[in-house]
Amino acid sequence: MLELFKIAVKNVSKRKKRAALTILGIFIGVAAVVALVSLGQGLQQTINAQFEKIGADKIIIQAKEMGFSGENAPGQLTSRELDLVEGVNGVVESCGYIVRGVNVRFNNIQRTLFGYNIPDDARQAALFSSLNNFEIESGRLLSFKDKKKVMIGSDIASKKFSRSISAGDKLWVSGETFEVVGVLKRVGDPGVDGGVILPEVDARRIFNESSAMSAIVAQSAKGVDPEVVADRIAKVLRRDRHQKEGKEDFSVQTSTEMIESFMVILNVIQVVFVGIAAISLLVGGIGIMNVMFTAVLERTREIGVMKAIGARNSDILGLFLIESGLLGLAGGAVGVVIGIGISKGVEYGINVTYGIGTLSSAFPVYLIVGALMFSFVIGAVSGVLPARRASKLRPVEALRYE
């Protein structure tokens, strides 16, 4: 076997240009698979990290048809639903908030951004802040007692206007002037990072909304299963709205259910893209098969000589399988390197655009080893038919071949 491997390496290295063209389809497919899977794994880790910060005890209630921030949604939530949720057995704290588009002007530049309210109750404000992982970069956190003050996301402070915004600056928000009291650290949510947070009284005046809410968040008590509490909330809201199960115009999800939904969607997207990349691998396999058939014709006399001096059919079969496997493995190795480069390039571009830490690609050992093994198998399988043909040649006919 070692001798066959040496001969196979020598034969492949003698035809460098042909080998390079042959592995083109393989390394394109492997590069695509490695890049997509590594970015998908990194995105999963980022999502998991964000939900871990939120906590498994959070329950989110929203209109089923959200539209833009729940505005004009059929299942529009109001302060009435917040009162009902607060009274559900197992709910230790709850809060509601509203999200709307607001016009923000600074330094003679106007942008339409997301506007959020911080609840006007200390405990509710604390729950809202923990839900969004608010940490201050400069200045201070917005208090529920503040009036005509705002807190802004990291993207607004550094990217939305021609110069950076800091604590103490004045912003024009939908016709009113507000003072910036704090700039938040990046939280990874484009809406929050690119939004403004206002006191509830000011927000409802600007939004012209007296009781509407985009979402309600409930925190389950310690030792109580959040899914049980979520079921209780759904029953209370269905009863209040006179709706049957499965016909609700609202949704109640635990943070665990939300992350599972994200993962399902992400996995489906990955499978689709990997399937597309597999087409390239199929083309590469056909290319290897074609090259090996050509090699059999070119080396017919060589095969005859090998058989005449004692080589068995299994030796010839093994030689050509190793050669085709090596072509696949070479394509896989190049594809892994290119895939890592593509993944890191995408990671760098996203982090530069949306902030450091937004995405971190992951390269688990099973991905690299699996890609190399898979490409070797693709090459070997593609070489089965040419190898069988070579092994079946009769020595006398092979030696007479011109």
Q: pLDDT tens digits, residue range 109-140?
A: 888 889 999 998 889 998 898 888 888 999 99
Give strand pairing partners of 176. Answer: 173
pLDDT of residue 322: 81
> Given a cut of 60, is residue 398 above it in pLDDT?
no
pLDDT exceeds 70 at position 197: yes
Tell me, what amino acid is at 32? A
Q: What value does the mean pLDDT take over residues 308-334? A: 80
The residue type found at 384 is V
Residue-level pLDDT at 171: 92
pLDDT in the model for residue 33: 84
pLDDT of residue 72: 60
| Distance between CA atoms of residues 247 and 66, nearest Å | 16
Question: What is the DSSP annotation of 164-179?
Answer: ---TT-EEEETTEEEE
Which of the two residues, 277 and 82, has the higher pLDDT score? 82
Q: Residues near 136 by Cβ (< 8 Å), separated by ≥ 6?
A: 182, 183, 184, 185
Cα–Cα nearest to 128, from 213, 252, 249, 236 = 213
Evaluate if residue 399 carries a pLDDT over 80. Answer: no
346 and 355 in contact (C-beta within 8 Å)?
no
Scored b (16 or more CB within 10 A) or e, 351-369 reads eeebbeebbbbbbeeebbe
The reply to whether the predicted model has a pTM over 0.85 is no
Round to whole Å and give the CA distance between 53 and 170: 31
* pLDDT tens for each residue of 295-305: 666 666 776 77
Residues in the chain: 402
Which two tokens mark 317?
């079969």
Give the Cα separation of 50 and 111 in Å (integer).
Answer: 27
Could you please report the per-residue DSSP string of 196-231? EEEEHHHHHHHHT-SSEESEEEEEEPTTS-HHHHHH
pLDDT at 11 over 70: no
With tokens 């607001």, the residue in question is: 102
Per-residue model confidence as pLDDT tens digits over 267-280 = 787 787 777 777 77
From residue 27, give the alpha-carbon distance in Å to each of 9, 248, 335, 347: 19, 50, 4, 21
With residue 256 as reference, give the H or E element that holds it.
helix 255-298
Question: Comparing 252 with 70, which gets the higher pLDDT?
Answer: 252
* Predicted confidence band of residue 327 (pLDDT cuts 50, 70, 90): confident
Residue 179, phi then psi, degrees to nearest 5: -95, 135
Tokens at residue 336, please? 């892994």
Instruction: Report pLDDT for 89.
Output: 92
Residue-level pLDDT at 367: 85
Structure tokens at 66: 């959200």
Residue 232 pLDDT: 93
| Spatial separation of the C-alpha atoms in residues 53 and 62, rounded to whole Å | 20
Both tokens assigned to 396: 């006398």
Which residue ranges make up each domain of the chain? Answer: 2-51+260-400, 54-255
* pLDDT given at position 284: 74
Under 8 Å between Cβ of 166 and 139: yes
Rounded Cα distance, 398 and 383, in Å: 20
